[in-house]
A and B are shown apart, each in its own frame.
Chain A
Amino acid sequence: MISVQSAPFDLGDIANRFAAAQSGAGALVTFSGVVRGDAGLIGLEIEHYPAMTLPAIEDMVGAARARFGLLDAWVIHRYGRLAVGEVIMMVAASAPHRKDAFAGAEFLMDYLKSRAPLWKKEHRTDGTAWVDAKDSDEESLCRWD
């Protein structure tokens, strides 16, 4: 399942549904990203490119499945306004063994950060600012080359 949505979702519910949908998996890894409560931050506004986001994530999931032998991988990513503490996104990966499930989830996270057409804008008590991409995120991506 891949979903790009504005609505909140229930982490536990998705994790349970993911687990129930697997057969033959010995390892399930889930990761979720949350709006970090930095000083002065009210929340995030996430913009995306609707015509491209889903196909781009589908490509990443296909690449992760092929590379790490994942049995399944789900991605949910929200857009719109999110308050501090809200869940932004989650990745779930299943594999016969944990090493591939962890690596597959990390690979997906690195690609989602730097190659999925999503942009974060911070709403702070003193104004708004687009979040700059970090060099370290690009470096994280290079390790998969």
Chain B
Amino acid sequence: MITVVYFAWLRERIGAGREQIETQAETVAQLVAELSAIDPYHAAAFADLRSVRVAVDQVLTDFDAPLAAANEVAFFPPMTGG
């Protein structure tokens, strides 16, 4: 079981900020494929991965990253702090 969290327009598009996912995905990309298949809202959120960033256990990473032992995966748009 993995916790998936969403921020900004990904959260709005999916309609939830957090969900628990039972998954065998070995990489972030595999998890994205599983999430995209949940419903059209998830599919829309992940339609263009160039505008999606990912953090595994609160550390920025990329879509090739392994999910071994990960507790929390976060998806969000490019950051706009400052």
Q: Which residues of A contact B (CB under 8 A)?
A: 33, 47-49, 51-52, 55-56, 77, 88-89, 109, 112-121, 130-133, 138
Contacts and interface: CB of A to CB of B under 8 A. Distances in A.
A47 B79 contact: no
A77 B81 CA distance: 9
A119 B8 contact: yes
Interface string B41-82: 000000000000001001110000000000010101111111
Contacts of B72: 51
B55 A117 contact: yes
Contacts of A52: 55, 58-59, 74
B77 A117 contact: no
Interface residues of B, number: 17
Contacts, number: 72
A119 B76 contact: yes
Majority DSSP secondary structure for residues of A touching B = mixed
Contact of B9 (A48, A116, A130, A133): A130
B58 A33 contact: no
Interface of B: 5, 7-9, 55, 58-60, 72, 74, 76-82
A113 B55 contact: no
Contacts of A119: 7-8, 76-77, 79-81
B58 A109 contact: no
Contact of A118 (B55, B59, B74, B81): B81
B81 A113 contact: yes
Contacts of A133: 77-80
B59 to A, nearest CB: 8
B51 to A, nearest CB: 9
Given A49-B55, A52-B58, A115 B8 contact: no
A130 B77 contact: yes
Given A115-B60, A117-B7, A130-B9, A33 B74 contact: no
A56 B61 CA distance: 13
A77 B79 CA distance: 14
Nearest to A44: B80
